[in-house]
Structure 1
Amino acid sequence: MKVPREFRFYYSSDISVKYKIKISTIEGKRVKENEYETLNNWIDDPYLKNSSLYKDKTLDFYISCTLYSDSKPLCSEEQTSYHLFNSNQINKWDETIVFPFKHQDLPVDTEMVFTIWDIISPLKRVPIGGTSFRIFGRNRIERRGKHKLCVWQDVEGSQKTPGQIQGKDEVYRLEKLYKKYSRNLLPKCSWMDPFTKEEIDKIIKKSESLNRDKLYLTIELPEFEHPVLFKQQISPIYKSLVPSHQKSNKLVLVHDIEMDENPSEQKHHRLNLDKDHKDLKPNSSELRLLANILRTPPSTKINDKDRFLIWRFRYFLSNNKKALTKFLKSVEWNENHQKQEALSILPKWESIDIADSLELLSYEFVDTMDVRKYAVDILRKADDEELLYYLLQLVQAIKHESTSSFNSSDSPLIAFLFERANKNPILGSYLYWYLYVDSVLKTSRYISHYKVLQDRLLTSLEQPESQKLTRQSQFIARLSQLSADIKAMNITREKKVDKLRMMLSEGDYSDLSDFAPLNLPVNPNIEVIGIIPEKSTIYKSAKAPMGLKLKTTKGEEYGIIFKTGDDLRQDQLIIQLISLMDRLLKKENLDLKLTPYKVLATAEEDGIVEMVTPSEAMASVLSKYDGDILKYFKTSHPDPDSPLGISPDVLDTFVKSCAGYCVITYILGIGDRHLDNLLLTPNGNLFHIDFGFILGKDPKIFPPPMKLCKEMVVGMGGENSKHYEKFKQFCCEAYNILRKSSHLILNLFALMIDANIPSISEEKEKSILKVQEKFQLELSDQEAANSLLQLLNDSVSALFPVVVEIVHKWTQYWKA
């Protein structure tokens, strides 16, 4: 019995991505009024003689688009830029319109209404034509791909100007079929389709009925890996009332026997796979298809047709290093012939980048040891500094090694990490703690495996290094016990501080105030020799974190915060990504003065955070200095000769750091931003702390898209200042630099989906898509910059976040 293929689709209520369309082309012919009417119109309105309505070649014109539901507009009019139009030609537009609505926000009867406008005077416009199109079809599935719409000429677009092409003759029938084909709604056959397309073109050229006296607008709608089925979004209030175990956001799978491929076509593909294609080269259309496949993000699933195409031209693609990961994902590893062929061509392929090698260590290559070995060989090119930026993810990638590798030396990845740990004590220290945390996670099924690896690491290291790590463990255990004892005391915070200092100076924990030099786990480059009791404190928080000042071998002080009861693994991940992004920006000669302080999780709910001193919360700064950040800077770096009265270097640092964190928090979807988790240093550095909400999650209602408050803008000199213009310029430049490295960041996120970090593991597939969406990879650099600038303008003008900030301040007041 034949097993039916699964029909997969998403619910629209689960897609929190802004709805975007692309205006592709305008083609056809305009119908003009007769000469008598033209002359009369010129007399009545002399502007019309310069209008494109009465000229053979159109002057500047633009397209507007509005979303309607229940005969009412959902949003204000979105406009394109101006273009020139030539009649009887295909006029390429290729411009993306981003609506202020997400897919999940669209009603089932949403309709797009387009109007093509001609400007006949500075304050007057005339419609060239209009058309409309429903987003959801009759079967409640969201329409996708290319659509060719008929334009009703000389009228403004409305819901009464449907864009469906009408007609019953052969040309109309072929046009409708070709539309379905271009949207992947018809099965494709690579050897027959070019001949069919050629015949269709001949028939259309012979008949002018389709394009006679008509205009056509071609648009491209968003496409996802699977169809999108409409589902009403559930109210957040209702969601909070539904038990968490009843919620389900998983991909819906439905068996549909009609989705099976034609047996003849399957046989054709199988025959093609067995042929030798060493000299085969793609034609122009196949080359475009391959280019589109290679541009897709690493998380994109490759469908059967694309897999066949990649396999067919594997030798042609072997000179393209960006194609290797797509090729390896196209291999049927269960078929011995393909496996042997893939492994034979792998060493001959153009060597890939380190960023792409991370993709080959994911769960998709669990049983392909040769591929994983190849990835590790590429990783060997990374120096120790670069490897530290990926180490957290590489420890998670161990989960995708074969089970037998944990107890032997069969795993290339494990052997590589141990080898580098033996050569570099700093790297070895971080590796030890990353392995340790996974060996004590209650929610992990890999506890015993990571415990084995931790013991193996200690055994493999030389005795002095092994003893250092053992002492680090003892030091952390003592801090954890001290924190637990302090939290158990039912006394005021001030008395807890006195008790802490007494316990460190002459009590049960006096051994922590003076000890032999020890490499600090959170920063192994620092050697500490004791805690300074009189400078230790307890912070205002339900978790009562300890603020500790440590003496170093260099005579300096080093501040840390030790937290118990907080899962710092998410903060650790975000800080690691901020550090990586800082490195990527500096490689492009853009230093945005970021402050990626160090965070290390030492257990599931224990960890160390590096103090950044001197620094102060923005809420405190605004309270002390009458809500003016510039007054704060003037106290430490005044400059009477400067226009704003502060040192230009300090202002430059403030502007750059604001830009860097605005872009990074946007990409990572950092939420719960308020003035208490934005910190300032006297030198102008602004930085964020506490990353409990990521990937778009936020406890506040209606959070701004960009984490930019009005106080920050005022600190730059206001919206009309040259410093704010520089800020926007830095934002756009940083955004496009990071977009170029999107594959690296997405690969790192993909390796963390099994790390048992709740914000990521709850919705594994969606977590990567949320980051991918923020990069807007379908846009050009200029379009991406324009989109970011619009978000900045929306965030600055948003009044509601100010109200939320006031509510938060009062909440903190009553808690204190």
Structure 2
Amino acid sequence: MKVPKEFKFFYSCDISLKYKIKICGLKGKKERENAPETINKWLEDPFLKNSSLYKDKPIDIYICCTLYSNGKPLCSPEQTIFMPFRGDDRWDQYITIPIRHQDLPFDTKIVITIWDVYAPLQKIPIGGTCFNVFGRSRVERKGRHKLFVYQNTQGNDDTTPGQIVGKDELYRLEKLIKRYERNLIPHVDWLDKFASIEIDKISKNSDSLNKNSLYLTIELPEFELPVLFKQQTCQLYKSIIQTQKRQLVIVNDNEISDHPCEQKYHRLNVYSYDKDKDHKDLKPNSSELRLLNKLIKTPPNTHFTPIESLLVWKFRYFLSNNKKALTKFLRSVEWNETIQKNEANLILPKWEAIDVADALELLSNAFTQKNTIGVRRYAVDILRKADDEELLYYLLQLVQATKYEMIETNYDHSSESPLISFLIERASKNFKLASRLYWYITVDSVLKKSSFCNHYKTVGEELHRSLSRDDQQKITRQSQFISRLAKLSEELKAMNILREKKIEKLKYALSDGDYKDLSDFPPLPLPVDPSIEVIGIIPDKSTIYKSAKSPLGLKLKTKSGPEYGIIFKTGDDMRQDQLIIQLISLMDRLLKKENLDLKLTPYQVLATAEEDGVVEMVQPSEAMASVLNKYDGEILKYFKVHHPDPEAPLGITAEVLDTFVKSCAGYCVITYILGIGDRHLDNLLLTPNGNLFHIDFGYILGKDPKILPPPMKLCKEMVIGMGGENSKHYGKFKQLCCEAYNILRNSSHLIINLFALMIDANIPTISEEREKSILRVQEKLQLELTDQEAANSLLQLLNDSVSALFPVVVEYVHKWYQYWRN
């Protein structure tokens, strides 16, 4: 006699969780209704003319779901958000029913209705279906189910059963797949692969199941064990039945946000304003004007609510004289709506011309649709006003923006892109611009994780064809020069010998070995700085630095005379350093435009491959850790050796002290805004002339390998170098910090837009948390504060950084770590 297998289960009366349904997707084809025979019906209801009933366009729908028992609803309907339907859409949205599993009667049915809101407060059913929660064996149904949708009718617990009945081969296979996914059919890996291929073929060839029909896929809750129905005992429920004095009350939640009907109402209301002949003369009242001013001052990439978007649209002609309002207006446009798209393109050329900083926002991923190509052309026309020098500051981001014109526009040729055509046109007239553009494109064309490699290769070919023969040869020689350096660096790194021996090998290779051609060649524009023409590497002055990546330190002979030092790195991603240096250079330019020169040292950095790059060598300079070690922990002694002035209060020349104070202020503010981390005395460098500057930007946007890092890198030694906390020089330092901070805050749109264009650049720190990266920069700028409030906040941060004890301990530990490593 066989012993029956043990059956383990849960009782439904023991499960106190709320019942949750997942709307997975809607698939199929909707039956279209015929257009009205006369125009009178459209005149009575003008929204019908543009509704999905008579237009071949995406249907705007939402789904309502409720539970029924004994022909009566158990709760008020719950719904999904408002979404367009194009025939094969995934929803993946959860609907939580305010009833627990333990309260479900045995005859509970899920009743679903799909609605199309075609006009304000007017909706029609696309279709309906229903499904039993419990099966015939009293076990609660679970997992994924495909339901047949009865079109043009509401869901009903009697007349719209969703269970598919039939002997169609595809339906039979779908049932088997469902059993297979629940491990009710044994898995055979080698056989399952072939079965999956055959099922796909049958699915593609089958037309009977989905022809002119809609199917809704839902997913029901699953537990570790089957759930068996059992009615719970409830004394309160018994008393209600006996007395029959209480009734179930259905209460609608009036506080629900983003109701589907309300969303559609606001979208359709857009057109009602345009029916008024005087809509161009509309002016906001005082409350509307305050809200409009508030919206215009919001940071870039701010998402407006439907009501806010409607307000901007309503007063678009009033706002057309405000150039700061254009980007807000264009973000409020529903570009898939023909009327709005045409109106936006009509008013765009009449708007007050915007600045280059705002034009960058129009080249972001917010405007990638084919309908927005006019917006991108307008942005490029604004960029034409910038000279080549200014364009260099944005070139890195503009190269990233070219990919957005390829996403949905489906161009067959990159020359059809307004931005690409503009960049190539300008580069063909300026070799410095062409050189930078070539290397930016080259790096993006070889990124392993990028899906736009072919795009950038095509752009690179376009650029090469547009250049003169002389410029083509220069680019080719630059590429060969970098390739030779990369090969030399890799060979030296592969040698398992001491660093001193490697340096000897390097010098020999450049003087008499396989790479002696690098020591003497015709004038070549240096890739990292094309304004410098180099004629060879000086072998005797070449070295290899102490580092895990063994970077090469090379001195180059130049055509003009002075030597030029570079550091060539392999095995290190230089794109992040390149971005930060570009932003520091830009901020330096913004400060100088306001007559504030903070003596910054934005040296040149160029990534030449995904893990190769060139860095300009700033000479003479020395790490602050080394300076403090040599001069008894005092920066002033270092300056006294190089620029003494016995008559000055601190014993050094006023110019050197002024440079030190200004450069400290500049880098304190900039590294704070950019969230530069891992700041220690080895990546702070000093020059004998008083310039302080930062190197090594491996940690940005607030990330730091050290715990509890100070908000600003301002150590006691730097303050003492200015004369102490009570000196006038330290007071000037704090004043300069506040001035620089507010100047950069006034250019927040430019800084944020540049970061926004880099979120898809595959730079790990930025790409990992795309939206948060922009928000971190925005948070550091404190745009909600006035200039005085921002200055006070910054002063508090300075005081906290100077008095912080933990960074001193960390610096001490780092010092000993460097000692034992060396």
Residue matched to 1:390? 394
Does the aligned pair in 2 maintain the 1:669–1:697 contact within 8 Å?
yes
Contact 2:414 2:420 in 1 (8 A): no
- 1:568 touches 1:601 (CA, 8 Å); kept in 2? yes
Name the CA distance, whole Å, in 1 between partners of 2:273 and 2:544. 67
Shift of 1:290: 0.3
Q: Distance in 2 between matches of 1:271 and 1:650?
A: 65
Alignment check: 8 A CA contact 1:273 1:311 kept: no
The change in CA–CA distance for 1:406 and 1:496 in structure 2 (over 3 A counts) is: farther
Provide the C-alpha distance between the structure 2 equivalents of 1:592 and 1:665, rounded to a whole number of angstroms. Answer: 14
User: Does the CA-based 8 Å contact 1:299-1:768 persist in structure 2?
Assistant: no
Query: Aligned partners of 1:274 and 1:650: how far apart in 2?
Result: 65
Q: How does 1:135-150 map to 2 (within 5 A)?
A: none
Compute the displacement of 1:265 (Å): 4.7
SS of residue paired to 1:287: helix
Matched, 1:351 2:356: no
Amino acid at match of 2:351: W
**1:297 corresponds to which residue?**
299
Measured in 2, the distance between the counterparts of 1:670 and 1:406 equals 41
| Counterpart position of 1:143 | none
Residue of structure 2 in register with 1:279 after alignment:
281
Partner of 1:413: 419
Determine which of 506, 521, 531 is the counterpart of 2:527.
521
1:662 partner letter: C
Distance 1:366 1:636, change over 3 A: same
- The one-letter amino acid paired with 2:301 is S
Q: Distance in 1 between matches of 2:497 and 2:358?
A: 54
Distance 2:448 2:271 in 1: 51
**SS of equivalent to 1:2:** strand
Name the CA distance, whole Å, in 2 between partners of 1:689 and 1:266: 52
In structure 2, the CA distance between the partners of 1:598 and 1:7, relative to structure 1 (3 Å rule), is: farther
Cα distance between partner residues in 1 of 2:791 and 2:813? 33
Which of 719, 729, 741 is residue 713 of structure 1 equivalent to? 719
Pick the aligned partner of 2:767 from 750, 761, 765: 761
**Kindly tell me: are residues 571 and 5 of structure 1, through their superposed partners in 2, closer, same or farther at Cα, counting changes over 3 Å?**
farther
Is residue 439–residue 608 contact of structure 2 (8 Å, CA) maintained in 1?
yes
Using the alignment, how far apart are the partners of 2:593 and 2:385 within structure 1? 17
Given the alignment of the two structures, is residue 2 of structure 1 paired with residue 4 of structure 2, yes or no? Answer: no
**3-state secondary structure, aligned to 2:531:** strand
State the 1:272 CA deviation. 2.9
The CA distance in 1 between the partners of 2:687 and 2:258, in whole Å, is: 60
Deviations for 1:275-333, whole angstroms, at most 9, x for unmatched residues?
A: 34201000000000000000100021111111000000000000000000000000010
User: CA offsets per residue over residues 104-142 of structure 1, 9 Å max, x none?
Assistant: xxxxxxxxxxxxxxxxxxxxxxxxxxxxxxxxxxxxxxx
The equivalent residue for 1:591 is 597
1:146-295 correspondence runs (5 A): 259-263=258-262, 265-266=265-266, 269-276=269-276, 277-295=279-297
CA distance in 2, matches of 1:422, 1:337: 40
* 8 Å CA contact 2:267, 2:306 repeated in 1: no
Check conservation: 1:708, 1:795, Cα contact below 8 A.
yes
User: Could you say which residue in structure 1 is the equivalent of 2:698?
Assistant: 692
User: Aligned to 1:574, which of 576, 580, 605?
Assistant: 580
In structure 2, the partner of 1:539 is 545
- Report deviation, 1:407: 2.2
Residue pair 1:272, 1:312 contacting (<8 A) in 2 also:
no
1:185 aligns with none
Alignment match of 2:317 (pick from 297, 315, 318): 315
Counterpart of 1:750 in structure 2 is 756
Question: What CA distance in whole angstroms lies between the structure 2 residues aligned with 1:291 and 1:267?
Answer: 22
Give ranges in structure 1 of 5+ residues lacking alignment. Answer: 9-189, 191-255
Report the CA distance between 1:405 and its aligned residue.
3.8
* In the alignment, structure 1 residue 510 sits paired with structure 2 residue 509: no
The TM-score, its normalising length taken from structure 1, stands at 0.69
**Cα 1:258/1:331, change in 2 over 3 Å:** closer
Measured against aligned partners, the alpha-carbon deviations of 1:232-286 in whole angstroms (never above 9, x if no partner) come to xxxxxxxxxxxxxxxxxxxxxxxx9864154595487245344342010000000
Instruction: Please state whether the residue corresponding to 1:363 is helix, strand or coil.
Output: coil
- Which letter maps to 2:298? T
Report which stretch shifted further, 265-274 or 573-582: 265-274
Are positions 1:330 and 2:336 aligned together? no
Provide closer, same or farther for how the CA distance between residues 272 and 611 of structure 1 changes in structure 2, counting only shifts above 3 A.
same
Contact conserved, 1:619 with 1:675, CA < 8 A, in 2? yes
1:630, distance to aligned residue in structure 2 (A): 0.2
Which residue matches 1:173?
Answer: none
Amino acid in structure 1 at the alignment position of 2:593? K
Alpha-carbon separation, structure 2, partners of 1:733 and 1:344: 41
Which residue, out of 762, 778, 793, partners 1:787? Answer: 793
Q: Distance in 2 between matches of 1:588 and 1:807?
A: 41
Contact kept, 8 Å, 1:406 with 1:452, in 2: the verdict is: no
Closer, same or farther: CA 7–592 of 1 in aligned 2, 3 Å: farther
Q: Which amino acid aligns with 2:557?
A: K
Q: Distance in 2 between matches of 1:798 and 1:365?
A: 45
Tell me what 2:376 maps to: 372
Measured against aligned partners, the alpha-carbon deviations of 1:165-194 in whole angstroms (never above 9, x if no partner) come to xxxxxxxxxxxxxxxxxxxxxxxxx9xxxx
The residue type paired with residue 304 of structure 2 is I
TM-score by length of 2: 0.68
Report whether the alignment pairs 1:796 with 2:802: yes
Mark the CA change 1:550 to 1:738 in structure 2 (over 3 Å): closer, same or farther. Answer: same
Q: Distance in 1 between matches of 2:784 and 2:381?
A: 32
After TM superposition, list the pairs within 5 Å mapping 1:52-71 onto structure 2.
none
CA change 1:6–1:764 in 2 (3 A) is: farther
- Aligned CA distance change for structure 1 residues 689 and 258 (closer, same or farther; 3 Å): closer
Instruction: Give me the whole-angstrom Cα distance separating, in 1, the residues matched to 2:523 and 2:604.
Output: 20
**In 2, Cα distance between the equivalents of 1:375 and 1:788?**
35
Structure-2 change in CA distance of 1:599 and 1:343 (3 Å): same
Is the partner of 1:519 in helix, strand or coil? strand
Q: 2:615 aligns to what SS in structure 1?
A: strand
- Separation in 2 of the partners of 1:258 and 1:637? 67
Q: Report the AA paired with residue 298 of structure 1.
A: P
Letter in 2 for 1:435: I
Q: Tell me the residue number matched to 1:672.
A: 678
Preserved CA contact (<8 Å) 1:406 1:453: no
Using CA pairs below 8 Å that are at least 6 residues apart, which structure has the higher relative contact order?
Answer: 1
2:779 counterpart letter in structure 1: E
**What is the Cα deviation at residue 5 of structure 1?**
5.0
The amino acid across from 2:516 in the alignment is: S
TM-aligned CA distance change 1:273 to 1:441, over 3 Å? farther
Residues 392 and 433, structure 2, Cα contact 8 Å, conserved in 1: yes
Question: Contact (CA 8 Å) 2:665, 2:736: kept in 1 or not?
Answer: yes
Q: What code does the residue aligned with 1:370 have?
A: G
Inter-partner Cα distance in structure 1 for 2:257 and 2:328: 28
SS of match in other structure, 1:467: helix
Change (3 A) 1:794 1:493: same
Q: Contact between 1:538 and 1:546, CA under 8 Å: does it hold in 2?
A: yes
Matched residue type, 2:686 = L
Superposed displacement of residue 810, structure 1: 1.1
Which residue in the other structure is 2:747 paired with?
741
Equivalent-residue separation in structure 2 for 1:394 and 1:294 (angstroms): 24
Gap runs ≥5 in structure 2: 1-60, 64-78, 84-119, 121-254
Q: Does 1:448 find its partner at 2:454?
A: yes
Contact 1:629 1:711 in 2 (8 A): yes
- 1:2 corresponds to which letter in structure 2? Y
1:530–1:550: 8 Å Cα contact kept in structure 2? yes
Name the residue aligned to 1:92: none
1:439 equivalent in alignment to 2:438: no
After TM superposition, give the deviation of residue 707 of structure 1 in Å: 1.1
Change (3 A) 1:6 1:577: farther
**What displacement does 1:409 show?**
2.1
Q: Which amino acid aligns with 2:320?
A: S
